[in-house]
Amino acid sequence: MRVQSSLVLGLAASAHAAPVPSLFGDLVTALIGGVENAVTTVTTDIDTVAKKLASSVAKLGTTLQTNAGSHGNIISCNQWAFDQVDDFLKRLTHSITWPSQKNKNFLNWTTYKANGVNFGAWLEQEPNYDLNWWANNIGDAYPDEWSWCQAVWFSVCGPKLEARYASFITTKDIDKMGKLGINTIRIPTTYAAWVKMPGSQLYSGNQQAYLRSITNYAIDKYNMHIIIGSHSLPGGVNTLGIGEAFGHNAWFFNTTNLDYSFRAIDGILNFIKTSGRAYAFTVAPINEPSDNFAAFATPEGLTANGTNWINTYVNGTLARIAKVDKRIPLMLQDAFFSEEYWSPFFPAGTNLVIDSHIYFFAAAGIYSQYVAPAICGQAKYIGVGDGKFPVFIGEWSLQSNYNNSLAYRKTLYDTQVYAYQKYSSGGAFWNYKMLNDKDTVDGEGKLQDYWSWSALADAGIPSASGVNGSYC
Ligand SMILES: *[C@@H]1O[C@H](CO)[C@@H](O)[C@H](O)[C@H]1NC(C)=O
Ligand SMILES: *[C@@H]1O[C@H](CO)[C@@H](O)[C@H](O)[C@H]1NC(C)=O
Ligand SMILES: *[C@@H]1O[C@H](CO)[C@@H](O)[C@H](O)[C@H]1NC(C)=O
Ligand SMILES: *[C@@H]1O[C@H](CO)[C@@H](O)[C@H](O)[C@H]1NC(C)=O
Ligand SMILES: *[C@@H]1O[C@H](CO)[C@@H](O)[C@H](O)[C@H]1NC(C)=O
Ligand SMILES: CC(=O)N[C@H]1CO[C@H](CO)[C@@H](O)[C@@H]1O
């Protein structure tokens, strides 16, 4: 996740105009660039074009989904109003028994409770999570891995990325988490960790070897559960660096990109199959998708056609998982729509968990002193959904828009940990580590004081068996 709304707004204004929705244009574009080589003439008949897209998708062994209109309720996590509240001083204590996968059974997200942390900026880079490393290795000229590797070539960026994979997360970090009761890790990767796509400027190296040694250790020593995320997708899934590269959103309605996305899924599934620990994994095939970036992080950030394309991809991913082992769950990031929106698309009993992200750093008008009660209410609404599929709060942090307070962090941490496991299947803090003492926040401290689990652990904020600073 990006952490500065100004960065996002700046990009939306400068780097790219919002795509103009056009069924016809999208479909023709998809056909011209897609795997349907037989199509040589561009037809003006929408039905014919749609049929041909469906047939080229069918060649990838999946079915083009076209029922976006039958979505459920839209609940936007990031467009709520926050009123001033009386800041009452009493904080509640709860002991929480976190489950683990000691029994080696496949995980049931309906009953599981995740006390999780994200490993962002390890196998997928983001500029503001480790300023010195970025400055010393990449430099200010490049906003993302793509433009950097494109400019310097893989022979230069590759070894630096390998060194990053070897050092940013080590087994010592797993120990630090294990001792404090962390039972779940969500790990963003780029598709290049799983498939080498011609023309891609994302680095394909030894990501899987590093992932293997860290996940084996976390599973064997602490019975942790691992969510493997394909956060970028070929062509770009949201115009952000984490979606492939800044300015890229060509994943949608392009069957070549869908084809390579499925190859990445096959790579993840092969990794899980050959781990000897298949019970310990969940597959997350997409993250924060948006085909209307001007409205990113709101429900308008995804068009109906974008929904259809995601459902097409999920349909094919479920089929691929089923070939390996249906007990491996699929985690679908909700594009800021919540569980209720997606629930009608999938039959009950689908091994699916919805991943919602809740952030307060950009919430309009919110002071840190108003956040805690909002967390309790929002967790209930978003976490329960319509009850058809379990919900996991896959990203959250401690920064508020205004008046951040160091002393208040314990309350915001404990309240989120408590509320997300009470009303949903738990969550994962973003991020394990942030090394950024330059960027400031409104109020006290620096950005890293609110986004770095490792530093919060050093400050004694997370505790192993429960919370004692919760608002609800
Ligand atoms: C579809 O994606 C492929 C691979 O990213 C790209 O080469 C092709 O140009 C795209 N097609 C169109 C029409 O954008
Ligand atoms: C998961 O747990 C729920 C609630 O107990 C249950 O209804 C469901 O059948 C379980 N799923 C599996 C695959 O066991
Ligand atoms: C994929 O979609 C088709 C048609 O909508 C449906 O029949 C099939 O059950 C879906 N497959 C999965 C794995 O969801
Ligand atoms: C902002 O924080 C200060 C203390 O740091 C506090 O006195 C003030 O009431 C807070 N403002 C609001 C609107 O809560
Ligand atoms: C709350 O927990 C922290 C450790 O996380 C501990 O240092 C502190 O003493 C506890 N406070 C109370 C009142 O139990
Ligand atoms: C935004 C967009 O492209 N909308 C189109 C999606 O597809 C439907 C029909 O399937 C069109 O009617 C929309 O115009």
Q: How many residues does the chain have?
A: 472
Torsion sign (Cα): 179, 379, 362, 284 = positive
Q: Determine the pLDDT at residue 80.
A: 61
Give the torsion sign (CA, 331, 336, 337, 338): positive
DSSP, res 446? B
Q: Are 100 and 183 in contact (CB under 8 A)?
A: yes
Sequence-distant (6+) residues with CB within 8 A of 291 are 19, 249, 252, 301, 302, 303, 305, 306, 309
Structure tokens at 295: 């409205």
In 180-303, which ranges are continuous DSSP H helix? 207-222, 255-273
CA of 409 to the centre of ligand 5 (A): 13
Output the CA 300–ligand 6 centroid distance in Å: 14
**DSSP state letters, 114-180:** EEEEE-TTTSS--GGGBHHHHHHHT-TT-SSHHHHHHHH-HHHHHHHHHHHHHHSS-HHHHHHHHHT
> Look-up: residue for tokens 């006390």?
115
Question: Atom 13 in ligand 5: which residue has the minimum CA distance?
Answer: 468
Q: Which DSSP symbol is given to 242?
A: G
- Euclidean distance between CA atoms 2 and 12, whole angstroms: 13
| Cα gap 242→188, rounded to integer Å | 9
Distances from the Cα of 122 to the Cα of 163, 207, 364, angstroms: 10, 10, 30
The structure tokens listed for 14 are 């400068």
| C-alpha 254 to ligand 1 mean position (Å) | 6
- Write down the CATH number for the domain with range 13-470: 3.20.20.80
Residue 192: Cβ-neighbour burial (10 angstroms; 0-12, 13-18, 19+):
buried
What does the alpha-carbon distance between residue 127 and residue 435 come to, in Å, rounded to a whole number?
Answer: 10
Q: Is the minimum distance from the CB of 406 to ligand 4 under 6 angstroms?
A: no
Residue 354 burial (10 A CB sphere; 0-12, 13-18, 19+) = buried
Q: How far is the CA of 458 from the centre of ligand 5 (A)?
A: 14
Q: Say how far apart CA 125 and CA 80 lie, in whole Å.
A: 30
Q: At what angle do helices 171-179 and 207-222 cross, to 10 degrees?
A: 30
Nearest CA residue ID for atom 11, ligand 2? 108
Ligand 5 proximal residues by C-beta, below 6 Å: 460, 463, 468
First to last CA, the chain: 27
Ligand 4 pocket: which of 369, 371, 400 to mutate (most atoms <8 Å of CB)?
369
Return the ligand number nearest the Cα of 191.
1
The percent helix, strand, coil of the chain (3-state, each to 5) is 40, 15, 45
Atom of ligand 4 nearest to the CA of 403: 1
Describe the crossing of helices 304-324 and 255-273 by its angle, rounded to 10 degrees.
30
Contacts (Cβ under 8 Å, ≥6 apart) of 199: none
Atom of ligand 2 nearest to the CA of 108: 1
152 alpha carbon – ligand 1 mean position (Å) = 24
Note the pLDDT of residue 79: 59
Protein residues whose CB sits closer than 6 Å to any atom of ligand 6? 21-23, 26, 66, 303-305
pTM for the whole structure: 0.89
Instruction: Determine the atom of ligand 1 nearest the C-alpha atom of 30.
Output: 13
Determine if the peptide bond prior to 105 is cis (ω within 30°).
Answer: no
Q: Which of 188, 90, 69 is nearest to 428 (CA)?
A: 188
CB atoms within 10 A of CB 458: 10
Q: What is the DSSP letter of 468?
A: E
Buried b (16+ CB within 10 A) or exposed e, 330-350: bbbbbbbbbbbbbbebbeeeb
**Ligand 1 atom 8, closest CA:** 33
**Nearest atom (ligand 5) to Cα of 468:** 1
Query: What pLDDT, on the 0 to 100 scale, is given for residue 85?
Result: 63
User: What is the residue with the minimal CA distance to atom 4 of ligand 3?
Assistant: 63
Residue with tokens 């309906």: 110
Beta-bridge partner residues of 395? 357
User: Pick from 273, 256, 354: which is nearest to 314 by CA?
Assistant: 354
Q: Beta partners for 281?
A: 226
Over the chain (472 residues), the average pLDDT of each successive run of 10 is 34 23 27 29 50 84 91 75 62 94 95 98 96 96 96 98 98 98 98 98 98 98 98 96 95 96 98 98 97 84 95 98 98 94 97 94 80 88 93 96 94 97 98 96 96 98 94 92
Evaluate whether 93 touches 468 at the Cβ level (below 8 Å).
yes
Is there an atom of ligand 2 within 6 Å of 110 CB? yes
Domain limits, the chain:
13-470
Q: Tokens 């009660």 map to which residue?
A: 373
Biggest CA pair distance of the chain: 70
- Residue 56 CA, ligand 3 centroid: distance in Å: 16
CA of 65 to the centre of ligand 6 (A): 12
Q: Pick the atom of ligand 3 nearest to 346's CA.
A: 14
Q: Whose CA is nearest to atom 13 of ligand 6?
A: 23
DSSP conformation class of 294:
G
- Predicted pLDDT at 360: 87
Q: Is the CB of 367 under 6 A from ligand 4?
A: yes
* Ligand 4 atom nearest residue 405's Cα: 5
